[in-house]
Every structure is written in C-alpha cells, then in structure tokens.
Amino acid sequence: MFRQSPLFASCDDLQIESCLKALDHSIKSYKKNETIFMEGAKIEQIGLVLKGTVRIESVDYEGAVHLYTVVEPSFCFGETYAFLGKKLKVSAIANTDCFIFLFSIKNLPPCILENLLRIALLKNEILSERIEHASKKTIRKKVLSYLSAQKKEGWFTIPFNREQMASYLNVERSALSKELGKMKKEGLINFHRNRFCLLKKKIQN
C-alpha cells in the first residue's frame, strides 16, 4: 500500500521504511459514517487511507451536505489545513469502514515534504475538474463530462452513491436519477448502482 501511495513516490523500500520510522504516526480504524476530522476543528495530523474510502464534505447553514470528493486508498487528506493551522472548513468522514494512517506534520522527512507539495498541486487539478463538470449547463452534460473524465474502457466503478453523485455535480438527486434513466434508455450509458459504462458509439453519434 505504501509503495502505491503518492506520499512515497520515488521512494524505494528502504527509504519508505526509514520514513515510517521517522514519522510520528498511528493506524486507526473507523466505522462507516464515523467522523475522522470535524469541520471547525484544527488538526496537526494528515490522514492516509489504507483501506476503504473517506469522503470530504461540508454542511451549510441550512443543513445541506455538500460533497467535494471521495478519497481512495493510498491517497492523503487534511494536509492543507494541517500546515496552515486554520480551522477545517470541511469534514473528513468514513465513507466505508476504513483504516487510516495518521501522521504528525512535525519533523517530516524532506522526501515526504516534497511529495506533499506534489499532492497539493494534484488536488488543485482535481478541484478544477470538479468545477468544470459542475459548471456544465445541463445535467446530461455534467454527467457525460464527469464519466468521460474517468478515462476507463468498459465498465468502471465510481466512488459515489446516487446522492453523493448529485451533490458532487451540484444537482438534485431526483433530477439526476431521472436524467440517468433517460440516458440509459437512449443508449448513451449503461449503469448498475455505482458501476457505469459509456457507450461511445452512441455518444459520438
């Protein structure tokens, strides 16, 4: 798992072992929907998903939940707020039962600091992609923009359930479900729960 993580990019096994010894860390398990980092709190740790997934979300003044992303295994979360020392504007919630590698930002090895910078730049790109998807004028265009960006052949799995997908694309869940049904009937896509398949020939026509 550690070798696959961008946190240890360009590190060999000996370097990873050395980094792990240097890091002040712990491994914790969380049940589905359990809070890892709470919105409004200050943190001095970064999380690395070992198993399961973590969703990053916020709740507005009306109580509506806004989903920003789902963090997959081998990826980090919380690094920006940990370094800035500012209160979290989002919460990190266990999207499934998961195991998290939590490590302090104090005394980080140079290779980890360098990789965290790369991770921050990558997250800016991911945020830009989400803005691009959500800014499309119709639900259909939002869906096709997001699914096409997965760049996978045949069937693939997305990390969202239907409610989360609607939140990510900034649309109503019922409207999204209705549009997905239309797109399936028209032969543009096929899907079952959170597994999708783009029917490229139909889309190109």
- Predicted confidence at residue 127, as pLDDT, reads 86
- Predicted confidence at residue 205, as pLDDT, reads 43
C-beta separation of 120 from 75 below 8 A: no
- Output phi, psi for 52, to 5 deg: 90, -165
CATH number for the segment(s) 139-204: 1.10.10.10
- Sheet of 155-157, strands arranged across: 155-157, 195-198, 189-192
Query: Which one is the CATH code of 6-122: 2.60.40.180, 3.30.70.360, 2.60.120.10, 3.90.700.10?
Result: 2.60.120.10
Report pTM: 0.84
**Cβ neighbourhood burial of 199 (10 Å; 0-12, 13-18, 19+):** middle
Residues of CATH 1.10.10.10 domain(s) within the chain? Answer: 139-204
C-alpha 193/C-alpha 191 separation (Å) is: 6
Residues of CATH 2.60.120.10 domain(s) within the chain? Answer: 6-122
Note down pLDDT in tens along the chain; length 205 residues: 788 899 999 888 999 999 999 999 999 999 999 999 999 999 999 999 999 999 999 998 888 889 999 999 999 999 999 999 999 999 999 999 999 999 999 989 999 999 999 998 888 888 899 999 999 999 999 999 999 998 778 899 999 999 999 999 999 999 999 999 999 999 999 999 999 999 965 554 4
